[in-house]
Amino acid sequence: MLVELLVENFAVADRVRIRLHAGLNVLSGETGSGKSLLVDSLGLLFGGRASTEVIRSGADRARIAGIFEAPKKKALSALLDEAGIELEDGELLIEREILANGKSRAFIGSKPVSASFLKQLQPWLGDIHGQHDQQRLFNMIEQRLMLDEYAGNETLLERIATLFTALRAAESELAQIDAREQELLRQRDIWSFQKTEIESANLKPGEDTGLDQELRILANVVKLKEQAGGAYEALQEGPESAMSMLIVATKRIAELKRIDENLHSVLENLRTAEASIDEASRELSSYVENLEADPGRLAFVEARIAEIDKLRRKYGSSVEEILSFYAKVSADLALIEGADERRDHLRSEIKKLQIAYGTAAAELTVRRRKAAEKLEKKVEGELKDLNMERSRFVIAVQESSWSATGADEVAFLISTNLGEEPKPLEKVASGGELSRLALALKVSLAASGQRTMVFDEVDAGIGGSAAEQVGKKLKALAASNQLLCVTHLAQIAAFADHHFLVEKREAKGRTHSVIEELEGPARVKEIARMIGGQRLTDEAVRYADQLLQMGATA
């Protein structure tokens, strides 16, 4: 329920605050006074599109804030918890700002939120019914949505959508397999040759790098042996070898250490160097001994490298890339070899999905038709109360192609005159009849609760006794929902539990809208104005009193 609405710098409203109540709240006023501005601003709190055109001239931003009493619903609590939003005393403070630079911001409490999140909240807080909603009645998709909502088909529709998606995915994959089959068969011989050629090479990851290193060694055995042998001699053999000179130096430093203990570290370093040279000499000796020319091995390595080079020219710059190509070719061949098996599996799966979908869709059709019968009677009863007792309302549920929403086409039909066959709404209903039909549907589909239902121009095209019946219907609907109704008809305003007057006033050379809640004589005066215009007559005042008495006892 909307508790309070604040509008700042919105069109002609510089600052308007209205505190609303449970029941039927009516807004009246002269044409152009700003009645619909409140409806438009509430639409922004429900996530509507923002435009800089609504910003009051001279202001840098427009601001709308609303305090809502949140219904105690688990789904709403889950949505708010997921967004990290907490209720304060069971209420939500929702704000929307439209900036002059074209940007807009939204907040719940002090937490920034997106306009799309406000749209998610909207079904729990309220909805707006106006001329646009009447045009939506012509849309068969909207008609189906209304019927499914009335029937409570949400869970079944989710299952049908899941089955339909899976069915279309399986059919698409099967079609792709069939379409690619000839192409894959043409490629099979090539892929088989490539797979066999790579397999026969028996490649190992990193093998090419190891072979290149081995080839360099085998091709340079003589040079390696000469140079390594020379290094060994320089380290170990001969009177001028590194080891000989190091031994001499070690002996001299050992003798000097007896005199000066400070040479201890020098002596230790020399002995360490002696051990290192000895170790290096042994490694070099072993290396030279193992270096032998092996023409057979050299030929094998050269041939192996040539074999890998041949594969590298075809399939990749390294053994790893060749093996990657091999994996892809193997997968492609497996796809061909497993195509028949996959095709059989898909055909079986499609058959199962078709049966499951058909069963669920048939159940949905039954539910829709049963709900259609109930809703038809309910709407016709409401139309009778709205002085359309000769009208017939029909919901046609007819077989259609399979879709994510079932296998039905739903159409709302109406006959407003006795003896006429029901036809689509846009071909039969006048503006006034459409307004009453929209209200009848709204009443029939409405669930009791704390939601705010906004009716803008629900009285379009009607008057007299029909308007009186609309007023009674709104009054009855307001018993279980909060209603905010913009009207220019006294017959409707008289049924209000709370009546607000919207006026334009001038101050300091500027026009601004103000809202005032009416009671007693002030309300009688406004009702009389709605009846007879600005010139109040005794007859208009008396009729206003009669209407208010009738509204009070309804």
In tens, the pLDDT along 128-154 reads 876 556 666 778 888 998 899 899 999
The stretch 442-447 carries a mean pLDDT of 78
Compare 535 and 347 and report the one with higher pLDDT: 347
Helix, strand, coil shares, percent, the chain, to 5: 60, 20, 20
DSSP class of 50: P
How much is the CA Rg of the chain, to the nearest whole Å? 45
Compare 460 and 270 and report the one with higher pLDDT: 270
Find the helix or strand (DSSP H, E) in which 134 lies: helix 131-136
Residues of the chain with CATH 3.40.50.300: 1-128+457-554
Q: In the chain, what percentage of residues exceed pLDDT 70?
A: 96
In tens, the pLDDT along 307-317 reads 888 888 888 88
* Secondary structure (DSSP) of 437-477: HHHHHHHHHPPPSS-EEEEESTTTT--HHHHHHHHHHHHHH
Nearest to 61, CA basis, from 50, 77, 73: 50
Say if residue 6's pLDDT is above 90.
yes
Nearest to 391, CA basis, from 379, 375, 405: 379
**Which pLDDT score, from 0 to 100, does residue 408 have?**
95
Residue that has been written with the tokens 């869970």 in this structure:
155
Compare 63 and 296 and report the one with higher pLDDT: 63
pTM of the entire predicted model: 0.60
**Which pLDDT score, from 0 to 100, does residue 472 have?**
87
**Which pLDDT score, from 0 to 100, does residue 135 have?**
65
In tens, the pLDDT along 106-120 reads 999 889 999 999 988
CATH no. for 1-128+457-554: 3.40.50.300
Q: How many residues are recorded in the chain?
A: 554
Name residues whose C-beta falls within 8 Å of residue 523's C-beta, 6 or more positions apart in sequence: 499, 548
**Which pLDDT score, from 0 to 100, does residue 132 have?**
57
Nearest to 45, CA basis, from 80, 103, 5: 5
In tens, the pLDDT along 475-505 reads 888 888 889 988 888 989 999 999 999 888 8
